[in-house]
Amino acid sequence: MVAWLRTYIQNIIIVIILASFMQIILPSGTVRRYAQLAVGLVLVLTLLSPLLALARAPFGISELLGQATVQTAWAELRTESTLLKNSQDRQLLTAYELALKQEASRVIATQGGLQLVEATFEFVTEREAEDFGRIKQMQVVVSQGSGVQPVTAVKPVQIGPASGPKPREGASPVDSALITRLKSALATHFAINTDQVLITIR
């Protein structure tokens, strides 16, 4: 559009310059009048050239409908392609997560008779990213199997108001050591940092 407008303006300027030169060069008289008439016609035709081009162009309703149909079909194909790509990405990540769960279950089973209850993974999901599929975080819930359970010390029975600081709630030392060991094993196996592994023991 810009190139066409530039050409259109250049043609008008050329005709005006030509008319000015002819006004200076040609002597007064009949020849000058005919030259002015010819230059005037050329200028009018140059000014009307966009309308003449539009009149010569085919302007059928069927062609417009055909172009609209083609553009609509192309837009639909692009939408379907995007949906298919997203669906393929989801299927790929689902299969990848299933394989990772199986690996996590195998690693957890080697750590003192533990069993995997649930595992969720957070990935880099942008296909254009260089680290597409990298594990950003993993959360696992494990339970202790049917093996020997750790023996906990029996707390003394106190009668009356308790004195001294209350015991801190949270994981027992056995569970803390187990979580640390399991975090290290999973982080090493999946090549991530231990702070990217979240473990819950039931």
Nearest-angstrom CA–CA distance, 31 and 36: 9
* Coil, strand or helix at 94: helix
pTM of the shown model:
0.48
pLDDT tens string, the chain, 202 residues long: the values are 577 778 888 888 888 888 787 777 777 777 777 777 887 888 888 888 777 666 665 545 555 555 666 667 667 766 777 777 777 777 877 888 888 888 888 888 887 778 889 999 998 877 777 887 788 899 999 987 654 444 445 555 555 454 444 444 444 555 788 888 888 889 888 888 989 999 888 8
Residues composing the chain: 202
Q: How many helices and strands (H and E) does the chain possess? A: 5, 3
For 140-155, give one letter per residue: b (16+ CB within 10 A) or e.
bebebeeeeeeeeeee
The four Cα atoms 103, 106, 109, 115 give a dihedral, to 10 degrees, of: 60
Give the position of tokens 């298919």: 84
The CA-to-CA distance between both ends of the chain, in Å, stands at 70
Nearest-angstrom CA–CA distance, 71 and 83: 18
Q: What is the pLDDT of residue 85?
A: 76
Q: Which string of DSSP letters, residue by residue, matches 46-73?
A: HHTHHHHHHHHS---HHHHHHHHHHHHH
Q: What is the pLDDT of residue 56?
A: 60
Sign of the C-alpha dihedral computed for residues 105, 110, 112 and 113 taken in this order: positive
- 134 contact partners, CB below 8 Å, separation of at least 6: 123, 124
Q: What is the pLDDT of residue 196?
A: 92
